[in-house]
A and B are shown apart, each in its own frame.
Chain A
Amino acid sequence: MGFAARSVSIFRYRVKGELEGSFWDAIAEGVRKGAFREIESAGDIIASGWTSVEDFTDHSFEQARYVRGNHVALSLRIDSVRIPPRILEIHFKKESARLLQETGKRRLSSGQSRELKDRLKESLRHQAFPSIQIYDMVWNTAEGVVCFGQHSARARERFEDHFKKSFGLTLIPLIPYIRAQELLESDADRNRLEELKPCSFVP
């Protein structure tokens, strides 16, 4: 569920790095660079990138804005198609039988099999409905903190990667130790934190 929902899951990051040139121009360039588009890849993902948080079909940002106050709000949309292995197997058997009959050969070479599978996958991809995943993110540019609306490791990895590609900035997960370093005011406390060992609550 997105940020507009009543209940939202948040994973928090610190943004590391500096944008080059004018801040808002660099953001605009990053959004344009990472906007949702079809991609050529051998994997399951057929399209991905930033869309509006208001409307996941708007990736030209003509109607919707992505700057909200001091915040940059975007959705990362990932469209993927996964052909079920058994479906691929059915089509492969049918097509290889036809090819063998045509050529009079007894079996396909491994190269031919691979080529046939790739061709079938590509053709089946166009017949299947993609699965569409939408993950919202809100970047508080004044604080340098990003809230990402999903906890799963796979989604986070894709998001961190796409953020880096778009803006050239690194996201550091604000795990307790890293947040603690930020919250502590003195170097003496930060040094004590570094030396800290687990304690036991067992009586």
Chain B
Amino acid sequence: MDFLEILKQKAFLGREFLTWLWFKSEQSGGRVELRGDSVVEVIFLNRLTLDLSEADTPQSVTIKGEHSELREGLAALREGKKIEETRVSLRGSVNEFTLTLKGTWLSFGSLRTPPALPVDEAEPEDEWEASFLEKISLVEEGIGLVDALFGHFLKLRLSPNWETHELPAIRAWVAKGEPVLTGPQ
């Protein structure tokens, strides 16, 4: 497959990831447990765009607002839509990041990292350099959290557990319209 064909035919992968991530975040009170006992806190913020990726004509809906997103987002999922874009907050072991994730491209919009701290007793040009390097390291850390979550999703998505456990749980959540709280609060 060439690049454009992959982009078209496999776009569902990013949308399924974001939709699963929303389910996981709602199901576990925002704590997503990864392999090796690490935990990423995932909070969906007040913006979701869902679309019907397999439709001939694009149909998308954007939901903004503090408390409407769960009800309206689930209604869109019941119509077969999946999340194409969302603003999330992610926290690893120390740092917190907010960013807009896009499903088709796996791109990172308006990524806010913790501030890069000024270095004590540094010359001004060294200070710029140090602060820039720290910023790069923070950006890579934030992207690394997304990769860790995506890697976890992939393992699950390709395992027999997906069909037997995960997918039925997601469908039950979509049907019921409220989180199925099975994980830690």
Contacts and interface: CB of A to CB of B under 8 A. Distances in A.
Interface of A: 3-4, 6-12, 53-54, 68-69, 71, 73, 138, 140, 147, 151, 172-180, 183-184, 189, 192-193, 196, 198-203
Contact of A73 (B80, B131, B132): B132
Given A4-B135, A199-B162, 19 more contacts: A3-B132, A7-B111, A8-B111, A8-B113, A9-B110, A12-B108, A54-B128, A54-B132, A68-B132, A68-B133, A73-B132, A138-B139, A147-B143, A184-B154, A193-B158, A201-B77, A201-B171, A201-B174, A203-B78
Which one of B104, B107, B135 has the highest number of Cβ atoms from chain A below 10 Å of its Cβ?
A: B107
Interface string B9-29: 011111011010000000000
A70 B109 CA distance: 24
Contact of B12 (A7, A10, A198): A198
Interface of B: 3, 6-7, 10-14, 16-17, 19, 53-54, 77-80, 82, 102-113, 115, 128-129, 131-133, 135-136, 139-140, 143, 147, 150-151, 154-155, 157-158, 162, 167, 170-172, 174-175
Contacts of A8: 110-111, 113, 139
A10 B108 contact: yes
A172 B2 CA distance: 11
A147 B6 contact: no
B7 A175 contact: yes
Given A176-B13, A180-B13, A12 B139 contact: no
A11 B139 contact: no
B106 A175 contact: yes
